[in-house]
Amino acid sequence: MKARRIIIFDTTLRDGEQCPGASMNLREKLEVARQLARLRVDVIEAGFPVISDGDFQAVQAVAREVRGPTIAGLARCVAKDIDAAAAAVKPAGRRGRIHVFLATSKIHREFKLGKAQDEILRLAVEGVRRARSYIEDVEFSPEDGSRTEPEFLVQVCRAVVAAGATTVNIPDTVGWAMPDQFGELIQRLHDEVPEFSSGSAVISVHCHNDLGLAVANSLAAVRHGARQVECTVNGIGERAGNAALEEIAMALKTRKDFFAACACGINTREIVKSSRLVSRMSSLLVQRNKAVVGENAFAHASGIHQDGVLKKRECYEIMNPVSVGWGKSQLPLTKHSGHAALAARLKHLGFRLSDSDVDAIFKRFKEIGDKKKFVYDDDLTALVGGHITEVPETWSLDYLHVTSGNQTVPTATVRLKRLQGKKPPELLQEAGIGDGPVDAALKAIDRLTQTRGRLLEYTLRAVSQGKDALGEVSVKVKFADRDLVPGKGASTDVIEASARAYLNAVNRYLFCGQSKRAHSAQP
């Protein structure tokens, strides 16, 4: 039997990035998009162009630079949104898609939109027609589709397909659906919308994980005729997240018997690499016991299991860890490794970096190589992450000394370099005391930079194995007039990593202030 091809629509850069604290800058988004292309997703939803200049530019850059997948931009059923999405995906040419959405459920119609069914139908059709005036590939989503009256949903699907939508996506926006019921809904749409049953329009699903059922609901829909699944790497997304791409792909592959004639084109060997990159770029940690990509996903603790795996792996492993990209790491680099070796390894890891980027990373690599015996691929990924999240520095760390202990008042001496355009940098020094050495160092930084940040989130994790592992600190800092500003820093010394992460947030804050001032000074 010929396999039914399931289209994997990745929304890590749109719904995933909507997750609080997950925002990524342009370079981070581009790195993720390139990795998604290597993972061979079919569609990358790169953002919501009308939302901000940053989102517009990110979608446009992904459309211009990433080859292979279709590039989609999201839009409400509003002319200015659709126009912005069309402009942003234009560089992708025939691989561009506009994804238009409008809520259809009774609760959204009555309380959010204040519109009756016929008006919703009219707006949906107008939105799709406008999108089609720009591009052939148009997707429509009836938001809160799973809670929409099924008869009305059938009507909406028929109308938007007649208006030119090539894909209709049924979102379980609030994660309310149950697998059997959702499967039945998809089957009904499949049977009652002639273009779905004939295959001339694609039926898609987009499930949220509020009850932990996003993957189960998506797979139930596949069994009942869905041809596209919308998902995110590591399942990141609004609230409890979206269906996890790696779980969908591996379920289809591992249980081919159950999903008889369905397959997707994901290059599963790129899964772990994608998961780690997204985790690092979004600063969202992956739980240890997460299916497929968690540290424990293939770790057998009990003696009985270990014995069984040694005798025959399949006794306790339904997937081969190598098939999803575990255990592929190469020999670590050391301080003796040269510039060429580093450049080659970074290329092998999939990063596209300029010579000056590699030079800057080489400098940090040498500093770290002096402190730890081996520099692993994960350490390098952290260094790249630290480098590409950097904004032009106003302040850089020159010297840090801390005293701390259970009978000492924690004290930090910090010397910062203030970089001031063409003038020579200025060195300024301060001391601070605090509840602990991190608090003391951050207080000294506050005094030097005269920015009073409130540290609202702080995460420390070891990037690789060993007592000399690199520690990576991610922070979220609240400055008076700004939303949370993220920062990242890595070092073998966790106090230094903390100071670097905090300073990274301060520099972002100051840089953003400057660009806002420059922007508002424009005519």
Q: Which helix (H) or strand (E) holds 416?
A: strand 411-420
Smaller CB separation from Zn ion, 15 or 42: 15
| Distance between first and last Cα of the chain | 63
Q: Is 173 in the site for ligand KIV (CB under 6 A)?
A: yes
Q: Which of 347, 345, 309 is nearest to 329 (CA)?
A: 345
Q: Counting contacts by CB under 6 A, is residue 15 touching ligand KIV?
A: yes
The correct pick among 97, 147, 206, 387 for binding ligand KIV (CB under 6 A) is: 206
- Touching Zn ion, residues 10-29 (CB under 5 A): 15
Instruction: Give 47's strand partners.
Output: 73
Tell how strand 167-172 and strand 138-143 pair up. Answer: parallel
- Interaction between residue 109 and ligand KIV (CB under 6 A): no
- Give percent helix, percent strand, percent coil of the chain, each to the nearest 5: 45, 20, 30
Residue with Cβ nearer ligand KIV (206 or 508): 206
Query: Closest CB to Zn ion among 10 and 15?
Result: 15
**CA atoms of 502 and 507, how far apart (whole Å):** 9
Nearest distance, CB of residue 140 and ligand KIV, angstroms? 10
Q: Which is closer to Zn ion, CB of 10 or CB of 496?
A: 10
Nearer to ligand KIV, 168 or 510 (CB): 168
Using the minimum distance from each CB to Zn ion, give the nearer residue, 170 or 383.
170
Q: Is 171 near ligand KIV (CB under 6 A)?
A: yes
17, 143, 377, 496: residue in contact with ligand KIV (rule CB under 6 A): 143
Contacts 24+ apart (CB under 8 A), 291-296: 291/244, 291/246, 291/247, 291/250, 292/244, 292/246, 292/247, 292/250, 292/319, 292/324, 293/234, 293/246, 293/324
Q: Applying CB under 6 A, which part among 31-39, 167-175, 292-300, 405-413 lies near ligand KIV?
A: 167-175
Contact range with ligand KIV by CB under 6 A, out of 22-30, 166-174, 374-382, 410-418? 166-174
Q: Which lies closer to ligand KIV via its Cβ, residue 169 or residue 279?
A: 169
Q: Which two tokens stand for residue 77?
A: 């059923």
In the complex, least distance from residue 230 CB atom to Zn ion, rounded to whole angstroms:
8
CB atoms within 10 A of CB 86: 19
Size of the site for ligand KIV (CB under 6 A): 9
Sheet containing strand 471-478, strands side by side: 454-462, 471-478, 484-491
Compute the least distance from the CB of residue 59 to ligand KIV, in Å: 15
Minimum CB separation of residue 26 from ligand KIV in Å reads 22
Question: How far apart, in whole angstroms, are the C-alpha atoms of residue 232 and residue 251?
Answer: 15
What letter does residue 234 receive in the DSSP assignment? Answer: G
**Distance between CA atoms of residues 433 and 414, nearest Å:** 11
By a kind-dependent CB cut-off of 5 to 8 A, residue 147 interacts, out of ligand KIV, Zn ion, none, with: none
Least Å distance between CB 289 and ligand KIV?
26
Residues in contact with ligand KIV by CB under 6 A are 15, 101, 141, 143, 169, 171, 173, 206, 208
Residues in contact with Zn ion by CB under 5 A are 15
